[in-house]
Amino acid sequence: MAELDGPDGSRDPAVAELQRLVVAEQQRAQFTAQVHNFMDVCWDKCVDKPGSKLDSRTEGCLASCVDRFIDTTLSITNRFAQIVQKGGH
């Protein structure tokens, strides 16, 4: 993005901050989309008939589904971090 560089070819701090904010917002949107997708999957898997409150079986199923999602996400994140570390050295 050379057009965003300063006149002397240096990176404008305001532009760098704006780019950082855009990346952070994209990550937040991606995370939100993942959560909505995960909620849909767990809802379809666990909730047979919506009611005014959840029965214990449905509550347990949703809790297990959330736990699996968190464990899987952490495992994948850790694996990517290992790959990046190995690639960086």
Task: Report the CATH number of the 13-87 domain.
Answer: 1.10.287.810
pLDDT tens per residue, range 75-89? 988 888 888 888 755
Residue the block writes with tokens 């305001």 = 14
Nearest-angstrom CA–CA distance, 50 and 44: 11
pLDDT tens per residue, range 14-27? 888 999 899 889 98
Contact 40, 52 (CB under 8 A): no
Say what percent of the chain tops pLDDT 90. Answer: 35
pTM of the model: 0.56
What is each CA distance from 6 to 1, 3, 17, 21, in whole angstroms?
11, 8, 14, 19
